[in-house]
């Protein structure tokens, strides 16, 4: 049995910010790698210019907050992650299309898709990724996080937040819609 975190540690807001950015950068690397493999060309995916896809960060934080108590129930975590992340992706796709009139992803060519915003294959990957995150990676990341002195944690995350906020402000005016990033 894993040692449980005490109440203040479990709800450490700065840890969730770190988790958000780690997952957002992972998502950027993951999707860039997929396009590199698929199209033999690197594509900086996403709405923002910087090396992050916030939807992955939001998903990771939601999964950890909602499902951390199920770390020992992997299949339940898988199913719940699959459902939550699929809903998040659908809503994000709908919102981005409504707001900017472009699609940042399109699963129309995939089997079992809904409006091209979600598909079964991605949903299964979300379930697998969520189960790995909640059951394995989040406890490991929290253990590593606790080893960083508090002052360094705070200053590092403040620096990242300033850069991220600047990128978000710039991208709200000039969204990243380069070649290979959006679908018409």
pLDDT of residue 6: 46
DSSP 146-164: HTS-HHHHHHHHHHHHHHH
Is the separation of the CB atoms in 31 and 39 below 8 Å?
no
41 Ramachandran zone, left/alpha/beta (phi>0; psi -120 to 50): beta
Instruction: Tell me what pLDDT residue 35 has.
Output: 82
Taking only the tens place, the pLDDT of each residue in 117-133 is 999 999 999 999 999 99
Find out whether 88 and 60 touch, Cβ atoms under 8 Å: no
Q: What is the pLDDT of residue 180?
A: 59
Q: What is the pLDDT of residue 39?
A: 81
How far apart CA 124 and CA 73 sit, in angstroms, is: 17
Q: Do 85 and 68 form a contact (C-beta atoms < 8 A)?
A: no
Backbone torsions φ then ψ of 181, nearest 5 degrees: -95, -40
Q: At what angle do helices 54-67 and 74-100 cross, to 10 degrees?
A: 140
> Per residue in 5-57, pLDDT tens?
443 455 589 999 999 999 999 999 998 898 888 888 777 877 788 899 999 99
Task: Tell whether the model's pLDDT for residue 76 goes beyond 90.
Answer: yes
Question: And the tokens for 100?
Answer: 């900017």
CB contact at 8 A, 27 and 55:
yes
Checking 155-158 for CB contacts under 8 A at 24+ apart, the result is 157/14, 157/17, 157/18, 157/21
* pLDDT of 93 over the 50 cut: yes
């Amino acid at each position: 049995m894993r040692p449980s975190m005490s109440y203040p540690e479990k709800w450490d807001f700065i840890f969730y910010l770190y988790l958000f950015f780690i997952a957002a950068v992972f998502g950027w690397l993951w999707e860039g790698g997929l396009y590199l493999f698929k199209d033999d060309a690197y594509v900086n995916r996403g709405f923002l210019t910087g090396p992050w896809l916030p939807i992955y960060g939001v998903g990771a934080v939601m999964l950890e907050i909602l499902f951390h108590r199920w770390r020992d129930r992997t299949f339940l975590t898988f199913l719940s992650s699959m459902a939550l992340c699929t809903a998040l992706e659908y809503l994000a796709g709908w919102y981005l299309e409504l707001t900017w009139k472009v699609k940042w992803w399109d699963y129309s060519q995939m089997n079992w898709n809904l409006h091209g915003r979600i598909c079964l294959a991605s949903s299964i990957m979300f379930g697998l990724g969520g189960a790995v995150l909640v059951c394995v990676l989040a406890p490991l990341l929290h253990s590593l996080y606790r080893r960083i002195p508090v002052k360094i944690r705070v200053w590092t995350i403040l620096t990242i937040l300033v850069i991220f906020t600047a990128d978000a402000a710039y991208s709200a005016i000039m969204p990243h819609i380069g070649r290979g990033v959006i679908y018409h």
